[in-house]
Amino acid sequence: MTDQKTKYSDDPSAELLATAGLVTMLGAVMAGVIAVVTLGGGNILLAGALGSVALISFAASLVLFTFDSKRSEGAPLPFPSWLRAEPETAAELS
């Protein structure tokens, strides 16, 4: 088995961007679910506020994922760096 070392494995900022993106995405999902439940309960003002928080958190997570993808080698998709295929593996497939 070969030891493949990636460029971003020792970079703490890449880990920070990916983790912050996942945490904000989790916050967006939770705020969205609570907004829907609150809307079902009849509190439109609170549901609107939580829906706004969900949209802002979702947009922030996409921004963080985009910054993370631009840090690594040519990956245009807004995925965390550790979810992408290795460049050597992708080259071997094609």
Contact by Cβ (8 Å): 57, 28? yes
Interval 55-65: pLDDT, tens: 999 999 999 98
How confident is the model over 64-92, as pLDDT tens digits?
A: 988 887 776 554 555 566 666 665 555 55
Do residues 32 and 54 make contact, with C-beta atoms less than 8 angstroms apart? yes
Instruction: Enter the pTM of the model.
Output: 0.64
pLDDT at site 1: 43
Residue 94: pLDDT above 50? yes
Phi and psi (nearest 5°) for 3?
-95, 105
Q: How many residues does the chain have?
A: 94
